[in-house]
Amino acid sequence: MSDVARFTTDGLPPLSLQRPDDAAVAFHGLLGGSAIMRDVFERLERVGRTDVTVLLTGESGTGKELAARALHAVSARQQRPLVALNCSALPTELVESELFGHARGAFTGAVRDHGGLFEAAHGGTLFLDEIGDLGVGAQAKVLRALESGEVQRVGGTKPTRVDVRVIAATNRPLERMVAEGTFREDLLYRLNVVVIALPPLHARPQDIPVLAQHFLQRVRVKHPQTAQRISEEAMARLVAYAWPGNVRELRNVLEGALVLGDGLTLEPRHLPPSVRDALMPSIGVDDDAARALVEATAHLSFSEAREQALEAFDRAFLSAALARHGGNIAQTARALGLHRQSLQKVLARRSLRARRSGLPQTPPVAPPQPDVAPPDTP
């Protein structure tokens, strides 16, 4: 069996045994001091001490595997194996053999008897990751194993008793899959005895600094020459970014930035553009124009920069409007939904401010003339 599909706790580094109310806000490898994560820690600890089947849900990268390991670590089965199968990592035709084993001669290449993961996890925990990718045929056999406590090897004739706690995880909408006929309803009911949802990282931004510091220290263990700290500006961008890949993406981004960066402090320039520009406001124009505007006014206060941007917009917008109407103020005002006097005041005000601000001058607008009705013709 490939190492990708299967692991046990043998040889793994020891997991943190800190309680969620500790200063380090760590719970068996999971990190976070936010209220939503403290609630997750509490549920994991409470449910972990029972033997019920658990369904972990959440987006990819939210820590479902760590949650499964935490459930096992606080259970009475912690001294027994934790065995896992990523149901999306193997071809459908091999999944049943991996889960239930096979008898010698069951298929081409089956030269000897082989026990499956249910047997390997006897007395311990079996973690079925991405169970939404499990084929319908294998779903039926998993259901049978859960209900009977027995498995039968592919090509075998005798069932084998197994004592296994099953934890499943998915990032797919199983209820919708049931409605579509791609996931068994009875298996879903058997799995979701307890459902624990792992929140996406964007739902707990207050946890990003502690996660970032944790990953910084982990990278420095492997690469001591990397930065020792994260600047406030870089941390602000980490917190502002949406993290569609969740904690896994944060870990990978930081490792790449630290390895490629220079100096003792991780700065915004070391981050990928998508993260570095997380604080860039969207103003309805292309990003290059927005970036150029921000850079041109970076030396000003917020109020000064805002006024300068508004002045530039007013002058460009009104100049174009006047040009469309041949310089006729009355027609321009009507087209813009303004009173003529209001438009005249804006034009005069912007002309004065343009001289003070040092912005490029636009051709002066002729002073407004009173509308004089043509003389009546006899």
Comparing 75-89, 178-192, 294-308, which segment has the lowest mean pLDDT? 294-308
Is residue 59 located within the same domain as residue 119? yes
Rg (CA), the chain: 32
In a domain, 19, yes or no: no
> In the prediction, which pLDDT does 20 show?
35
Is residue 186 located within the same domain as residue 246? no
In a domain, 375, yes or no: no
Number of folded domains that form the chain: 3
CATH of the domain at 311: 1.10.10
- Residue 16's pLDDT band, with cuts at 50, 70 and 90, is very low
Nearest to 146 by CA among 168, 130, 114, 169: 168
Is residue 120 located within the same domain as residue 223? no
Is residue 217 located within the same domain as residue 231? yes
Pairing of strands 125-129, 150-151: unpaired
Question: For 317-342, what is each residue's pLDDT tens digit?
Answer: 888 888 888 888 888 888 888 888 88
Distance of CA 215 to the CA centre of its chain: 16
Nearest to 138 by CA among 118, 158, 124, 163: 118
Question: For 165-191, what is each residue's pLDDT tens digit?
Answer: 999 999 999 999 999 999 999 999 999
Is residue 126 located within the same domain as residue 68? yes
User: Range of 99's domain?
Assistant: 26-199
- The DSSP line for 306-333 is HHHHHHHHHHHHHHHHHHHTTT-HHHHH
> In the prediction, which pLDDT does 278 show?
80
